[in-house]
Amino acid sequence: MGRLDGRVAIVTGAGGGIGREHALLLGREGAAVVVDDIGTRTGADAEAVAAQIRDAGGAAVATTASATWDGAAEIVGTAVDAFGRVDIVVNNATAGRNDDLWDYSREEWDLTMEVNLTGYYALMREAVPHMARQGGGAIVNTSSASGFGHPSHGAYAAAKEGLIGLTRTAAMELGRFGIRTNAIRPVALTVQVAEYHEHSARWRRLMDLTMGTGTTQMDPDAVSPAKVAPFVVWLCTDAAAGVNGCTFAVWGDKVSLLAEPRPKATIEQAGGWTLDDLDRVAPDELVPGLRNRWTLADNPDLQEFPDA
């Protein structure tokens, strides 16, 4: 018996890359799968993935609805029409472009937010009533280490870190219905990641300085998309019934439960703080030794601001 027999899963962005691996493994574990992908990425094909699941003896349907506010109802409706229920949502669709903070267009910003944050919320909003009436479900949201900071990817970083707040809130709000909501920050080399590295070449020095070694230096086999799927599928099984509101890093052979933010240093003064008091206390007791590490003075090989 598969771990997910009788359950119905939706995976967005499942026509290729990480999402494809999620869909295939969910199908192998017995879930009926709604494979969603608009098909604009290189090599993405929702119907081909659904056909592969069916050829292996599973149940799957494909949809090319956009995983956005406007398309969420259609995606969930496809699951209910085809299989009668929704038990699992894996929000995996993504979109985003590189640009300098001062050059992002409104269209670039809106597209990134719509797919990576608004669309995730919209799909949860449509699926949750079905899950609650059924007595439970599992949601896995795909965040990113970009949320820790990612030069040239301001919109994407903002959306993916906002998604962590949404995940925590959903876990608190929906846990009473037996619905578990968790997030992953995966690392995997895909065609899209390779294209991203090509497009981001002019920011590489700044990325290396501020973020550390990136996936361009990783062995493709070591960070294969197939290595992400098992943990995501595990989060959807009964074995993870107690896991709710957590964030995990999934990187090759490693899975890490990430710590939640907590105070690092605190200063307190009865009656509050004046500027003079902060001048006196904060440098030594709140922010000792902090400095801007990324100035041109310290890193003269970084790009200067372009001439007007």
User: What is 264-282 written as a DSSP string?
Assistant: S-----TT---HHHHHHHH
Q: How confident is the model at residue 305 (pLDDT cuts 50, 70, 90)?
A: confident
**Residues noted as catalytic:** 156
Angle between helices 154-174 and 119-134 (to 10 degrees): 20
Which pLDDT score is estimated for 222? 75
Q: How confident is the model at residue 33 (pLDDT cuts 50, 70, 90)?
A: very high
* CB-based contact 132:111 (threshold 8 Å): no
Q: Would the pLDDT of 58 be above 80?
A: yes
**What does the domain layout of the chain look like in residue ranges?**
8-257
Which carries the bigger pLDDT value, residue 152 or residue 287? 287
Which pLDDT score is estimated for 193? 66
Q: Indicate the DSSP class of residue 41.
A: S
Per-residue pLDDT reduced to its tens digit, 172-225: 999 999 999 999 999 987 666 666 677 777 888 888 888 875 544 566 677 789
Using DSSP, state whether 91 is helix, strand or coil: strand
Which carries the bigger pLDDT value, residue 165 or residue 188? 165
What does pLDDT average to over the chain? 92
The type of residue at 41 is R
Compute the residue count for the chain: 308
Which pLDDT score is estimated for 213? 57
Token pair 């969930």 is found at 76
Measured CA to CA, the distance from residue 285 to residue 132 in angstroms comes to 48
Percent of the residues in the chain that have a pLDDT greater than 70, as a whole number: 94
Q: What is the mean pLDDT of residues 252-260?
A: 95
Angstrom CA distances, 40 to 8, 37, 64, 76, 272, stand at 25, 8, 10, 21, 55
The type of residue at 274 is T
Q: Would the pLDDT of 16 be above 80?
A: yes
CATH-assigned architecture of domain 8-257: 3-Layer(aba) Sandwich (3.40)
Measured CA to CA, the distance from residue 237 to residue 88 in angstroms comes to 10
Which pLDDT score is estimated for 202? 81
Which pLDDT score is estimated for 194? 65
Which pLDDT score is estimated for 196? 67
Q: Which two tokens stand for residue 10?
A: 């939706």
Which pLDDT score is estimated for 191? 60
Which carries the bigger pLDDT value, residue 199 or residue 231? 231
Angstrom CA distances, 90 to 19, 97, 130, 151, stand at 8, 22, 15, 27
The type of residue at 187 is V
**CA quadruple 210, 212, 218, 222: dihedral positive or negative?**
negative
Q: What is the mean pLDDT of residues 106-123?
A: 96
Q: How confident is the model at residue 294 (pLDDT cuts 50, 70, 90)?
A: confident
* CB-based contact 93:115 (threshold 8 Å): yes
Q: Would the pLDDT of 42 be above 90?
A: no
Q: What is the mean pLDDT of residues 129-143?
A: 98
Q: What is the mean pLDDT of residues 112-128?
A: 97
Using DSSP, state whether 117 is helix, strand or coil: helix
Q: Indicate the DSSP class of residue 118.
A: I
Measured CA to CA, the distance from residue 293 to residue 290 in angstroms comes to 9
* CB-based contact 227:254 (threshold 8 Å): no
Which carries the bigger pLDDT value, residue 142 or residue 202? 142
